[in-house]
């Protein structure tokens, strides 16, 4: 059997298993095991099974993942998201569509303490959607801004997908985390700017709301300054080379824990719940990671990644055309997979191609993360849309989908800007020690 056939058939089998509802970790493990048996025989496959589950997660780099998850869980249980929304509301209320702008700002700041877009959508949705509906906002705008801006959580560091991409590609995790800062801020500004323009053109989308005094705005800083200090401390220590990402993550988790202990009436049950949720999330991520490593070993044995890289580098088209084709492939993946699975499944195949074409791996990693954002809000099946539907079940699914469509265009516009101006991504990492 030629390498292409030996790879395509298992990939089709994997897609079928995912379509019928098998968890991604089990599906990739099953397909990878079957493929390795065909290529290596049963004894060799069993030997691989003895090594891969332990060796694939035996990485100092991956120890940063539970730190970032724990940081997000402490922020969730301490109700920081409500303060972040109110902070954005008081500073942006005079803008057209001020509550929607505040939601974007809240999602961006909440993204600074959690690397999960699903958690961001669920948390901010419970707070922002009722406020916008009470103010008379269109349901499509209220739901769409939560689902769309929720993706900022995986771009703005600390970013779990950035760590996963680093582990899969070998790129520096510190540089990947720092590289997401400017694109994350740029995305936030573009989101807010386009909301303002949309409401200006269609005032019926969002009635004007009362503004707040400067005294109220300044006082709102009291409840969020601690989180801002932690973010600066975590990212600043990585940027200056003072601490590794894992050490900085531990500082962030510890700082967020201190904030949580000062805000929660019954801290011990909340800390226990946060720890248990972190363990569950970590088990899921590591399960997917182990399954992907097994599946990736099988794909590597077929020689498909190298053949694909050789084929792409010899095509009679410009490298940019090949890159655009790779980028488009990420759009339908959100219909079946979560962000972590998308990155783990695609990086071993497309990363060698991108490097062989002469592109920067850090730059491409940020593009992949943004494309994962788009995949998570691309109808008809998108995780963020269903999370918003879960926290606001009275909203018609059609309204949510209508609301996220403009954000797809905005994210594609941001990808185009990053492709045209790579320095937006690469400038900060280039200054790191």
Residue 333 inside a domain? The answer is yes
Indicate if the pLDDT at residue 384 is higher than 90. no
Give the per-residue pLDDT at 2. Answer: 58
Report the mean per-residue pLDDT for the chain. Answer: 84
Contacts of 427 (CB under 8 A, 6+ apart): 182
Integer Cα distance of 175 and 213 in angstroms: 40
Q: Chain centroid to CA 161: how far?
A: 5
Closest CA to 320 of 363, 349, 369: 363
Q: What is the b/e burial string over 262-276, where b = at least 16 CB atoms within 10 angstroms of the residue's CB?
A: ebbeeeeebbeebee
Contacts of 400 (CB under 8 A, 6+ apart): 140, 143, 144, 147, 385, 388, 389
CA angle, corner 372, sides to 232 and 294, nearest 5?
Answer: 105
Min mean pLDDT across 80-84, 92-96, 410-414, 422-426 is at: 80-84
Residue 349 inside a domain? The answer is yes
Q: How many CB atoms lie within 10 A of CB 363?
A: 20
Boundaries of domain holding 115: 60-290+304-430
138, 139, 145, 151 alpha-carbon torsion, rounded to 10°: -170
Residue 331 inside a domain? The answer is yes
Give the per-residue pLDDT at 39. Answer: 74
Residue 112 inside a domain? The answer is yes
Token pair 């902070």 in the structure block, residue: 87
Q: Model pTM?
A: 0.86
pLDDT tens sequence across 27-53: 888 888 888 887 777 777 777 777 777
Residue 421 inside a domain? The answer is yes
User: Structural domain tally of the chain?
Assistant: 1
Token pair 């990420």 in the structure block, residue: 330
Residue 298 inside a domain? The answer is no
* Encoded tokens for 345: 């499944």
Percent of the chain with pLDDT over 90: 18
Residue 44 inside a domain? The answer is no
Give the per-residue pLDDT at 37. Answer: 80
CA distances from 103 to 143, 159, 209, 378 (A): 10, 19, 14, 20
Closest CA to 149 of 373, 382, 400: 373
Contacts of 148 (CB under 8 A, 6+ apart): 191, 377, 384, 403, 404, 406, 407, 410, 411
Q: Chain centroid to CA 346: how far?
A: 15
Closest CA to 246 of 19, 69, 425: 69
Residue 295 inside a domain? The answer is no
Indicate the pLDDT class of residue 7, thresholds 50, 70 and 90.
Answer: low
pLDDT tens sequence across 115-166: 778 788 888 888 899 989 988 999 999 999 999 998 888 898 888 889 889 9
**Contact yes or no for 388/130 (Cβ under 8 A):** no
**More confident: 167 or 361:** 361
């Amino acid at each position: 059997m030629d390498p292409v056939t030996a790879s395509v058939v298992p990939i089709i089998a994997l897609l079928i298993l995912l379509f019928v509802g098998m968890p991604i970790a089990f599906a990739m493990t099953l397909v990878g095991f079957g493929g390795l048996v065909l290529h290596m025989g049963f004894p060799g496959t069993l030997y691989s099974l003895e090594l891969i589950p332990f060796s694939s997660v035996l990485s100092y780099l991956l120890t940063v993942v539970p730190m970032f998850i724990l940081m997000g869980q402490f922020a969730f249980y301490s109700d920081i998201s409500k303060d972040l929304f109110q902070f954005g509301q008081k500073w942006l209320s005079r803008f057209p569509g001020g509550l929607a702008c505040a939601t974007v700002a809240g999602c961006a700041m909440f993204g600074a303490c959690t690397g999960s877009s699903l958690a961001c959508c669920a948390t901010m949705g419970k707070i922002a959607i009722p406020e916008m509906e009470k103010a008379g906002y269109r349901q499509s705008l209220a739901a769409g801004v939560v689902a769309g801006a929720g993706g900022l959580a995986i771009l703005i560091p600390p970013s779990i997908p950035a760590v996963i991409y680093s582990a899969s590609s070998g790129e520096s995790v510190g540089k990947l985390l720092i590289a997401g800062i400017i694109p994350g801020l740029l995305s936030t500004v573009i989101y807010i700017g386009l909301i303002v323009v949309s409401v200006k053109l269609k005032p019926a989308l969002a009635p004007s709301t009362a503004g707040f005094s400067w005294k109220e705005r300044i006082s709102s800083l009291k409840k969020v300054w601690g989180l801002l200090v932690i973010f600066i401390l975590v990212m600043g220590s990585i940027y200056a080379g003072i601490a590794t990402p894992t050490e900085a993550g531990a500082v962030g988790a510890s700082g967020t824990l201190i904030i949580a202990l000062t805000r929660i009436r019954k801290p011990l049950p909340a800390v226990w719940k946060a720890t248990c949720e972190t363990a569950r999330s970590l088990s899921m991520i590591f399960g997917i990671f182990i399954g992907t490593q097994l599946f990736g070993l099988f794909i590597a044995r077929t020689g498909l990644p190298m053949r694909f890289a050789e084929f792409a580098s010899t095509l009679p088209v410009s490298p940019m055309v090949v890159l655009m084709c790779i980028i488009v492939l990420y759009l339908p993946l959100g219909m079946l997979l979560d962000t972590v699975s998308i990155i783990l499944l695609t990086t071993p195949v497309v990363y060698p191609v991108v490097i062989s074409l002469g592109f920067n791996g850090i730059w491409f990693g940020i593009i992949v993360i943004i494309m994962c954002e788009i995949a998570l809000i691309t109808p008809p099946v998108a995780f963020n849309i269903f999370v918003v539907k879960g926290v606001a079940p009275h909203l018609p699914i059609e309204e949510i989908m209508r609301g996220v469509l403009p954000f797809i265009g905005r994210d594609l516009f941001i990808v185009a800007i990053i492709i045209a101006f790579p320095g937006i991504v690469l400038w900060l990492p280039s200054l790191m020690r």
